């Protein structure tokens, strides 16, 4: 895992790779739980990012509405 800051795109990319790996059965049972755990982390990150983004957008827009 690279040390650089995780972005939504990176996370999603990684997540999709994991999905492909798991679906492609390239993965061993030994790795599976590790991969799924990582996938869960990435999912959580992405969901949080989405929720945060949604809230930010709503707040920004509501501020804008007030100004209007």
Partner 1 sequence: MTPKQEYSLSDLMSEVNLVIRSSFDKSYWVVAEIANVSTSPVGHMYFELVEKSGAQIIAKARANLWSSKKRQIISAFEDLTQESIKRGMSVLLQLTVEFHAVYGISFQIHDIDPAYSLGELQRQKQETIKRLKSEGLLDFNKQYVLNPVIQNIAVISSETAAGYQDFMNQLGNNEFHYQFNTTIYPAVMQGESASTSIIKAIESIDNSNIFYDALVIIRGGGSNLDLACFDDYELNARLSQSIYPVFSGIGHERDLSVTDMVAHTRLKTPTAVADFIIFNNLKFEERIKNLFNRVSDLSKDAIAEGMYSIENHSRSISERSKRKVNGERNNLRNCSFRINKSSLELISRNRLFLRHQKSELTHSASNIKTTNNYIITNTLNKLTESIKEQNRKKQKETEAINTRLHTVSYLIQQQKNQLNFLHNSIKLSDPGLILKRGFSISRINGKAIKDASMLKENDILETQLYRGSVKSKIINKK
User: What's the CA gap between 25 and 53, in Å, rounded?
Assistant: 34
Q: Which is nearer to partner 1, 6 or 12 (CB)?
A: 12
Identify the residue among 7, 34, 50, 59 touching partner 1 (CB under 8 A). Answer: 50
Site residues (CB under 8 A) for partner 1?
A: 8, 12, 15-16, 18-19, 22-23, 25, 27, 29, 32, 36, 39, 43, 46-47, 50, 53-54, 57-58, 61, 64-65, 68
């Amino acid at each position: 895992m690279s040390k650089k800051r995780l972005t939504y795109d990176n996370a999603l990319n990684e997540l999709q790779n994991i999905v492909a790996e798991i679906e492609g059965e390239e993965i061993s049972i030994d790795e599976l739980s590790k991969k799924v755990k990582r996938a869960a982390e990435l999912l959580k990150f992405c969901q949080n990012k989405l929720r945060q983004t949604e809230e930010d957008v709503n707040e920004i827009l509501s501020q804008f509405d007030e100004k209007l």
